Amino acid sequence: MANLESVIDGKTEAATLALIVLIAEGHLLVEDVPGVGKTTLAKALATSVGCTVSRIQFTPDLLPSDVTGVSIYNQVDHAFEFKRGAVFANIVIADEINRASPKTQSALLECMEEGQVSLDGTTHPLDPPFIVVATQNPIEMEGTYALPEAQRDRFMARISMGYPDAAAELSMLHQRETTSPLDKLTAVVDKRQLGDMIQTARHVYVSRAVESYVVSIVQATRTHPEFRLGASPRGTLHLVRAAKVLAALNGREFVVPDDINELVVPVLAHRIVATRRAASDARGGGSQAIADALRAIVASTPVPLNRSRSA
């Protein structure tokens, strides 16, 4: 966290969510207008971990083979040889992912869900941990393609950077007058330590009552009158996995309802499609309508209480 915050000023919430997704072995989607630090956060997260890192700049002419790899005929051996694409790394930065065509975007679907690449009848596994940190500009901006629902659903969480406050922006001017903070950033966790953190988070306890609470919230999104498409079962799994990491970061070996409440919007909102009426009536568009409706669902869902007097 200290490493991330040395680069991203005044964005503790965004840095925390990025760390949660990393330890939960999920994929992170950072969406906001240009110039607010999306790529900087992705680079800082990747640099802070001693794993293999690759960066893909998504453009309209990028091909699926540029991402996954391609089979090339070797004239010496008289056989096809697989040349690995940029996706073969532990942390993949997919910069401006929605500037590529849907065909190229879909090249990541199998990688993100199954941790492998299938090409010419051969399956090539990706070395775990495998995490995609993607950035995208709002779809209203020129030259963007909206991510399909199936791909958005594979991201564990979506965050927005937002503009910095005056103090953070002033500090940024002084810190970056001559050099970039990324130049001084070094890895503070190696691959083995990250693996230990991942295993620790997996064993955080989730009670049946909290599991029922999560299912009640997700089920409510599928019947809400303002939602055309509710959260998927994958969203339920991602919400619990992220909550386990949040509990561990807070020094607990068990998940409480507050962990779920804190993560409902970043984990579920990007999976939901609002009705046209709800999107047009809400100030800020569909994203704001979905966030407001999710908070209302959380507020109306009965919270499980621990009635035990034991410690």
* Range from 94-103, 139-148, 186-195, 243-252 carrying the lowest mean pLDDT: 139-148
Tens-place pLDDT, residues 98-117: 888 888 888 888 899 888 99
- List the one residue out of 94, 92, 78 whose CA is nearest residue 30: 94
Cβ(97)–Cβ(42) below 8 Å: no
204-227 burial string, b = 16+ CB within 10 Å, else e? bebeeebeebbeebbebbeebebb
Which of 94-98, 199-203, 225-229, 302-306 shows the highest mean pLDDT? 199-203
In this prediction, residue 231 carries a pLDDT of: 92
In this prediction, residue 121 carries a pLDDT of: 81
Say yes or no to pLDDT of 301 above 90. Answer: yes
- What phi and psi values does residue 35 have, to the nearest 5 degrees? 90, 10
**Rounded mean pLDDT of 228-257?**
95
Q: What's the pTM?
A: 0.87
**DSSP assigned state of 302:** P
**3 state SS for 160-191:** CCCCCCHHHHHHHHHHCCCCCHHHHCCCCEEH
**Rounded mean pLDDT of 86-96?**
89
**Rounded mean pLDDT of 5-32?**
87
In this prediction, residue 271 carries a pLDDT of: 92
Lookup: tokens for 295: 């908070």
pLDDT averaged over every residue in the chain: 86
Say yes or no to pLDDT of 2 above 80. Answer: yes
Tens-place pLDDT, residues 114-152: 889 988 888 899 988 888 989 888 766 666 777 888 889
Rounded distance between C-alpha atoms, residue 91 and residue 249, angstroms: 21
Tens-place pLDDT, residues 20-31: 999 999 999 988
DSSP 3-state assignment of 304? coil
In this prediction, residue 308 carries a pLDDT of: 40
Q: How many CA atoms lie within 13 A of 143 on its CB side?
A: 10
Q: Which residue has the higher pLDDT, 33 or 308?
A: 33
Tens-place pLDDT, residues 274-299: 887 766 655 545 688 899 999 999 99
In this prediction, residue 209 carries a pLDDT of: 95
- Local confidence band at 311 (pLDDT 50, 70, 90 cut-offs): very low
What are the beta bridge partners of residue 159? 30
Q: Which residue has the higher pLDDT, 167 or 227?
A: 227
Say yes or no to pLDDT of 222 above 90. Answer: yes
In this prediction, residue 142 carries a pLDDT of: 63
Say yes or no to pLDDT of 310 above 50. Answer: no
* Range from 26-35, 53-62, 201-210 carrying the lowest mean pLDDT: 26-35
